[in-house]
Every structure is written in structure tokens, then in C-alpha cells.
Structure 1
């Protein structure tokens, strides 16, 4: 089967979890004997191969390429966003290259860089080809992709302009035969908002490769307990609440707090003497922190989809203390592999931290169950479910 994977970016241009999942899917499909080609954006046109995966990187028709522009001015940003509302030039270019590949299946992921004009171009040239799209965020519902107001509050009732934009995009997206959501929460959100019918969307959870000898990572009794946060240092991620909770924790020689990431609250984190701040980490450094960590914090105050760092933590045998919001409860089962708390409740966070610190057997139970969760939702299962979906269309 010839499979075209389309995403705004691709390794080494990793913006978020979508790029990681697309790369894992490309490699997994290729290993199963399928011919895979990835189509993505770049500051210049480039055709290359990585691990037997063919990649076409295409230059977008806009005034700059976002990953390469560190601090665009307000005028530049305004022009870029105006052109990015509906950009047939970028869409036409990438579809020309997809036509040359002549795929049996087209699988879209994040396509915001190509805009909804991509749907129109695909309808013109691939009306008979099955097209699938995995939803990694709220792009179809929110121009910011996040459902967040400027002050960090969740947007519950989408304003008129957002609704008009959503209707326009969804109308163009009729070419999609099936949408895939990594979480049940995201699926139900799109159905509730009447953006996608329940017949056109199904859930396939994100997954990661199995780790070798991962059960050896469960710590023995009386070793120091490492609490870890990895992610954006922003208000909607619950950083302010987490810092308040940590300040309330009774100091104990068994506890250490490790933070990694960047964001507008970075200076607040740096001021906390009892927090070891690592800055932004990735690759082997991130793996090292996860493999040595005991408990991961997911204190979000917004509608997380299916946070990949939560899957990574389970894969490394970490317990998770997280918020009961969005797709987090689909990774964390309260009392089984971690603790779920009300979003924004610092007192509950403090109690959860101290409870784990006092109860070694509870911590080990949660860690073992996280490993069981990771084993159940593994990468092979994810790839097989996508292949089954392709064949059903």
C-alpha cells in the first residue's frame, strides 16, 4: 500500500506531539512493508530520505516559515496570519507532489501551515482516494488551536467569528472519509459542537515504542522520590497552582522536584530554591529524566487532548498526579496508576504529593500499573489499528 502522510512539520522540526506520532507511524508502516512518503513544510524545497522514509519538504507561500522566525514583528505576524487564513498557493504546491506519488491512502495530521485550502485541492484531485485525518488539537474549532482566551481561560462559548471560521473549514473538510481522535474527550468535543458527526470519527490512542527491561526502573523502598514536570511553563498548564502546592509541602529529605520546559512563567520556576530547573530538554536528556523519575505532574487547567508526555511517563513506569480535565483521565485512572485532582486545586495537589511520599507501597503499585497501561496501548497496536482503518475505507 502506498501511504502519504501529511503534516505541517517533520523531524527534525518537532513542534509538538504530532510530529513524534507522524514519525513513529511512518517508520512503523514502512517496517510492515508499506511504501510511505511524508509531505511537510520547510523554508526551502527538499527531497530526502530518513530510515527508508521518503520525505518531501515544500516551501510555503507566505512571508516567513514559523520555526525559523524567532520574534516576528506585529506587522509581520499580521500579514502571515492573514495569508494563512486560506492559502491556495501552498495547498496547490503540496498536492502537485502528492499526485506524483499517487498514493492509495492519504493520511492528514496537523495541516494548519497549508490551511483549509488543502481540502479543496484534495477534493479536486483525489475525490476517489480514501483520505483520513488525525486530530491532534482544536484547529478546526479555534483559530489558536487551543480553545484558550488571551488571559488563559478556557473558551467555552466560541464567539461568532470562530464559529464562522469553523463552519467554513468543516465544509471544506467533507473530503475526509474518517477523522481519528487520540482521545475520547476530543472526539466527544467535536461531536458536541456539531463539527463532526459520530459516524465520521473514531478513537485511536497515541502510543510509543516499548522500552527494554523497563520494569527494572521501579525504585526500591526508601530511595529519594523524584517528582517531575515536563512541558510548557504557562498558566493554562497549571504551573502557578503547582508551585503553590509545592511550597505547602512539608520539607522532606525523600523529595526532589524537577522542572523542564520553557514559557512565560520560567522566571517564577527559577526563583523556587527547592526546584531543580533544567530548561528545555529533549532526546536522551528527556529520556534520562523520565527513566529516573517517580511521579509526573499533569496539573493542566485546560482541555488537554491526549498528552504524549503522559504516555512517555507510563512507558517509563512513572506514577502520575494529574487534573481531571480533557483527555488526562484516559491515561490516569484515579487510585490505579496515579491520582486525579480538580483543576486549579493546590490543596489537593499538596495532599497527593505528601500521600505518595509517606506510602512507598502505594507509589510502587501506581508505577507498576502505569507499565501495564503502556503495555496495553503500545505502538504496534496503534499502527495495526490505523492499517485496519485504511483497509476499511
Structure 2
């Protein structure tokens, strides 16, 4: 390690950052965050390298070889170590290791002298299925267990006993070996809610920072409109049936546009054929989706599972479009009930419909809510704020790697609480974002 790396660098000093990501077979939000954060760092003068693997290789491997590599990849260790040493990497920021990268990349980064940061995009560390959802119901059976045996029993990863056992074994082995406590300098949880679950699951509290995901660009406030919008994958856990039930129960709800596709598209097709208020748009590209959100009166996200940090919701907020969402998981940290949107009980179609009608019942109130939503985004969630959070996390990780642990700041010191628009009182203060 060079003398320069032995001392903590100033927080505004350019860094060499190696981003590590194992792409899934189907593109998703983690892939997008990997790309967005890399570009954000490059735009601010940092040198960004990328080490990526793709799960297409899995199809060519037998089960024994894949299980062994899931626990420890000699190739990934060797290749990451070589990059870190050759390029003088300051921080190795890992997004996903499953299954081809493996936790061996943490060891390689540390052996090469770099600090290690891991973003916890999902709940894989405490739930082999990653979603804390089983058979449509929330499930915490494996949280806090040293070995997640219920997951094996229920085949929670890819519906396979063998594949689930490999994931469970990987986590259990590296927990027992101290990998997660000693080889990672900072974890990034996407919300305080998630941070609490990871602490319950065994990760060290003083190593978990909270930073949400950033958007590609900061949106510009939109004009709004008269229709409700659902935007996202039409899959299990997204509350599609709850959404459709709400419109079926209430003839006074407005036009509903559904943008997205997935395995539950047949439910949307059936509902749209019998209700002229419901319009299915299919899959929309980024520009089309932004325009839909800009012109919507409200975004509806009745998720049945715990979302990580739904980019569609934060993008809507950046456009000034309020969000009606399930009152659990991350949403109470994103939305101030009655000020920037509404929070409703999980699975309650009647409450969902009432919340939408209430928001649209008073045009002047809706105008104030749109402005408050946009202001909250500007105070909490812009790319500049997100970058400063990430840079602080990197500085803390480097300090810890150099033997200078720095405690996380208290949540109260993170940012000033958002002040709601005149005439509105929030039911409870939003949870501040850790820096």
C-alpha cells in the first residue's frame, strides 16, 4: 500500500473506484443503479473501473461447480486482486456477487489494500429469496438465523432445493468466517427500514450507512393531469390485483393508465376489456414513462412486498407527482402522508381508492401537494445530495480500512426535517436519511 493510501484522503479528493457487479439474466433495477452511480462518480472527476460478470455463464456450469463458485470464486478473487493492485484502487464498491463473483471479491479488495463498500440492493443476506415474501405473504422466517433452513424447505431461491441450499451455505459459511463483519468496511442500505432488518439479521450496526438510489437525471417539475398511473412490472408483489379491485369497487375513480408488462398482464387485459376507465399501455421506454408521470395526477404503488428503493416513485416525486403507496417498508420514509401523497394499509383496495379520490377532490389542495412533493425531492433526493452521501460513505470506508473507524452520524444530524406546505400537518415526521 502506498503512503498516500495510508492516510485518509480529503472527501473532495478524486478516487479510483472499482465497481463490481454480477448481472442477472434479466435486466433490473440493480443494473441501472450500477450504471447511474458509475456515471455520477465519473462526472465528478473520479476514475471509475468496472468488473462485471453475467449469469448467462451459469447455463454452462454443472450444479456442483456452480455451488462451489457461489461460495468462493478463485477466478473472481484473482482478477479483482490484480485490478486493485495494478490500478491503485481506493474503493471497491460491490453491487451484486451472486453467484459468479462470490464474497471472494471482498477478500481480494482487502488483500489489495482497497476499502470495500457493498450496496444491499435486496434482502438476500437475510432472505435467500431476497424479497421477504413467500406465497404472497410477508415472511421473516430466516431473519436472524445463522443458517436459513426454512428457505431450503420452501425452495425460496428459483424454486430449487439445491440452488437455495447453495445460497444458504454461502451466507452461513461467510457469516461464520467473519467475512461480512471484517471484510466489508461500509454497507449501504437503501432505507432506515432495511438497515434495521439487516442489523436484526446480523450485520454490524456501525458499518451500515443509509443512502437511497439516485436517478439518471434530476427531473423537472411537471404540470400534472387528471388520471392515475401505475408504472412498473406487472408481477407478483406489486399489488396488481389490489389496484384492479380498487377500480372495480369504486365507479367514481378517475381514468387509470397502467404502463408495464409481466406475468400478470392477463389480469390487466381482462380488467381493461370490461372497464373503459382502465387503459393498458404495455411496456414504455424511459422517455414515455417520464411523460406519463409528468402528466399524471397521482402515481399508485400498492406493493405487497417490501420495495428496496423504487426508482419509479422517486422519479414521480421529482416531477411533482404525489404517490399513493402501501404503508410499510420504505414508503413511510419517502412519502409524508397527507403532504406529499398518501399511505394506505397493505392489501386494502377500499383505502387505496379513497386515497386517490381524496387527492383529486380538491384541485387547489392537489396543487399544493404537487409543490410539496417536488420540494421534498429537492431537499432530500437530488443527484448532488446522493453524490455527497456516497462520497461520505467512501471516506468513512477508507478511514476504517486505514485503522481509523468513524462512527456513523446520528439520524437526527443527517438533514433538517422537511417543512410541509402551509395548512398541512403530517401525521408523523419522515425518517431522516443517514449521511
TM-score (norm 1): 0.81
Unaligned runs of 5+ in 2: 1-14, 143-147, 152-167, 400-435
Question: Please, which of 102, 106, 110 is the counterpart of residue 92 of structure 2?
Answer: 106
Quick check: 1:228–1:258 contact (8 Å CA) kept in 2?
Answer: yes
Question: Offset at 1:226?
Answer: 1.6
Question: Please, which of 188, 196, 214 is the counterpart of residue 207 of structure 1?
Answer: 214
Spell out, residue by residue over 1:58-109, the C-alpha distance to the aligned partner (whole angstroms, 9 max, x if none): xx75325xxxxxxxxxxx9977974664251552364255334331111111
- Which of structure 1's runs of 4+ aligned residues deviate more than 6 A? 76-81
Question: Offset at 1:362?
Answer: 2.4
Question: Are residues 1:148 and 2:133 paired?
Answer: yes
Structure with more contact order per residue of length (Cα contacts < 8 Å, sep ≥ 6) = 2
Question: Are residues 1:271 and 2:291 paired?
Answer: no
Unaligned runs of 5+ in 1: 44-59, 65-75
Question: Offset at 1:6?
Answer: 1.2
Question: Offset at 1:352?
Answer: 1.2
Question: Are residues 1:391 and 2:395 paired?
Answer: yes
Q: Residue 177 and residue 269 in structure 1: after superposition, are their counterparts in 2 closer, same or farther (change >3 A)?
A: same
Quick check: 1:180–1:201 contact (8 Å CA) kept in 2?
Answer: yes
Equivalence for 1:348: 351
Equivalence for 1:63: 59
Question: Offset at 1:229?
Answer: 0.8
Question: Please, which of 170, 179, 190 is the counterpart of residue 172 of structure 1?
Answer: 179
Equivalence for 2:299: 296
Give the Cα separation in 2 of the matches to 1:115 and 1:147: 23
Question: Are residues 1:34 and 2:46 paired?
Answer: yes
Question: Are residues 1:5 and 2:6 paired?
Answer: no
Question: Are residues 1:183 and 2:191 paired?
Answer: yes
Give the Cα separation in 2 of the matches to 1:111 and 1:83: 14
Q: Residue 21 and residue 120 in structure 1: after superposition, are their counterparts in 2 closer, same or farther (change >3 A)?
A: closer
Give the Cα separation in 1 of the matches to 2:91 and 2:70: 26
Question: Please, which of 122, 131, 134 is the counterpart of residue 108 of structure 2?
Answer: 122
- Higher deviation after alignment, 33-42 or 14-23: 14-23
Equivalence for 2:288: 285
Quick check: 2:226–2:297 contact (8 Å CA) kept in 1?
Answer: yes
Equivalence for 1:55: none
Quick check: 1:116–1:172 contact (8 Å CA) kept in 2?
Answer: no
TM-score (norm 2): 0.74
Question: Offset at 1:123?
Answer: 6.0
Give the Cα separation in 1 of the matches to 2:28 and 2:102: 20
Question: Offset at 1:344?
Answer: 0.5
Q: Could you say what the CA RMSD is over the residues aligned between the two structures, in angstroms?
A: 2.7
